[in-house]
Structure 1
């Protein structure tokens, strides 16, 4: 006979887990702001206070861009999950923002998968994991497409020093991994989370193309918003860049940052290091670039995660016949 905890005890531990997620997320945010070795908080505050970044007009504009950024992410999630279960925009917002908070301290935002899956009944969870993967791959696809274009023009214009031997090795390893994955898809005995790869392949091929196209469009709109937000901050800090020139740096930065595995809370550090290197080739001040990265992080991840913490604390496991 299996040992079973009393209902009230289970509820207590469930509340404790939710509190731990929220407290952990806030702690990591605090640590990143106060113990950033690349950019001291006092230096950041001093630079920002001397610029027009925190003028009412700038704050409102940055906030609007961030709201629309997450609005399109919420629409994307609602659209992609529709073939499995139709959910309201409010429910999609709760799941998207709540999962952001839950994933904040996990490597490569892996916690997002589990958080979203828990919002659905057990029979739907494996499909939800796949749909979340599809959504992330759509965003990655836009990043790679625009980033590769930007990186081509960046290399052509600035001719940075590149170790082509190391680069060729990395490409070889990447191609080998892709080939192994492709081989795995041809063998039904291979599984992911207990699901045969043949079934995963079938699920992807049968997924409604209309929903994929809409998801891709929302991914593209999101990319346009946060890349323009970065450009706006460059202009606010009086960095003399035209839009096209700036986009070669911005798209290259997001491409390189996206292919480096990291704990999500340190994503801002990785983007900062890459951005500092890229923009240094054009003589842009290091502190200015690190400040822009920090502001982007605050508006696009910290603020939404604060909203998401409310949804985490009020999260309830779905019932078998619960509809949104």
Structure 2
């Protein structure tokens, strides 16, 4: 007995899934703005209205920086994925913004991996997932490298109240856990859905060096763009700080916000408090910092995801062989 669903039924469910993704993304944005315990949207809007800092010139520059930020991310995706399949910039644009929309409401945007893989034939999806992992690792490498440098200058410039013994202990324990997990995986020859970690390692090792270098440089440029955008917002909020001091704070903030939450114990403690703690060192009030973080989120995630919703709604599964 053939239990295959009729074509029209499949199409109906596919459209329903796409609508659900877009609705979930917009609902997530709505909840993030209206039910934020740290910053009520009414307070945020009233604060911006009273400051009256967003002149057409400032808004255009913020739009430009966000555009260039995503332009570099899209170019990086096009560059890296060309190892498996040549795509146009338009394809990379659709996939990057569509994946952002589809992953916006998932933990740590993990849904991005599946969303991008679905844009390709099934025979290369595993490699697409690995390329997406490589892309994120390149961005993380930039964040960690610059963050460590910035954090070093931060703790040597300001009186940062940290328990270095506990910090070193946590770091040592984390390294030991990673080592033990890695050793266990190597000995057990663990595989995920038939894709062994040895094959993952070989895939990355065989990845063209020139594309990795290009991806790293694009990640570095992208970091420079959104960190400058944060600095620009500090300036229009009349925060008297030099670019050097601001970059110490910003790089340290991105480092701590990216690394420490990955250790689940610190997740609740660190989220939403890193920037407040760091900028309190130079007496920047909480409302200003929370407003800047919200504006950064609106320009770099919400706005692109609005455009991405169009690509999600118009998405069609690729052929099984291309």
Q: Which category of TM-score, normalised to the shorter sequence, fits these structures?
A: over 0.9
Q: Match of 1:38, SS?
A: coil
Q: Distance in 2 between matches of 1:18 and 1:295?
A: 27
Can you list the C-alpha shifts for 1:75-134, whole angstroms capped at 9, x where unaligned?
Answer: 000001001000000000000000000000111111000000000111100000100000
Q: Distance in 2 between matches of 1:53 and 1:17?
A: 41
Retained in 2: the 8 A contact 1:52–1:236?
Answer: no
Q: Structure 1-normalised TM-score?
A: 0.93
Greater shift, 47-56 or 32-41, is seen at: 47-56
Matched with 1:29 is 29
Retained in 1: the 8 A contact 2:103–2:111?
Answer: yes
Matched with 1:133 is 133
1:141 is displaced (CA, Å) by 0.2
Greater shift, 181-190 or 215-224, is seen at: 181-190
**Taking structure 1 as reference, are residues 313 and 46 closer, same or farther at Cα in structure 2, changes over 3 Å only?**
same
Q: Distance in 2 between matches of 1:220 and 1:314?
A: 32
Can you list the C-alpha shifts for 1:30-88, whole angstroms capped at 9, x where unaligned?
Answer: 11111111111122112212335421111100000000000000000000100100000
Q: Match of 2:160, SS?
A: coil
Matched with 1:80 is 80
Structure 2: where are the runs of 5+ without partners?
none
Matched with 2:244 is 244
1:177 is displaced (CA, Å) by 3.2
Matched with 1:161 is 161
Matched with 2:172 is 172
Greater shift, 251-260 or 176-185, is seen at: 176-185
Q: Distance in 2 between matches of 1:140 and 1:111?
A: 18
Matched with 1:50 is 50
RMSD of aligned alpha carbons: 1.8
Matched with 1:274 is 274
> Which residues of 2 match residues 145-224 of structure 1 at below 5 A?
145-183=145-183, 186-187=186-187, 189-224=189-224
Retained in 2: the 8 A contact 1:118–1:317?
Answer: yes
Q: Match of 1:259, SS?
A: helix
Structure 1: where are the runs of 5+ without partners?
none
1:159 is displaced (CA, Å) by 2.5
Retained in 2: the 8 A contact 1:81–1:131?
Answer: yes
**Taking structure 1 as reference, are residues 53 and 180 closer, same or farther at Cα in structure 2, changes over 3 Å only?**
farther
Q: Distance in 1 between matches of 2:44 and 2:66?
A: 21
Retained in 1: the 8 A contact 2:123–2:320?
Answer: no
Retained in 1: the 8 A contact 2:25–2:102?
Answer: yes
1:271 is displaced (CA, Å) by 5.7
> Which residues of 2 match residues 110-129 of structure 1 at below 5 A?
110-129=110-129
How many residue pairs get aligned? The number is 317
After TM superposition, where is structure 1 displaced by more than 4 Å over at least 4 residues in a row? none
Retained in 2: the 8 A contact 1:80–1:131?
Answer: yes
Greater shift, 240-249 or 150-159, is seen at: 150-159
1:194 is displaced (CA, Å) by 2.4
Q: Note if 1:308 corresponds to 2:308.
A: yes
Q: Distance in 2 between matches of 1:171 and 1:260?
A: 10
Matched with 1:109 is 109
Q: Distance in 2 between matches of 1:319 and 1:126?
A: 16
Q: Note if 1:94 corresponds to 2:97.
A: no
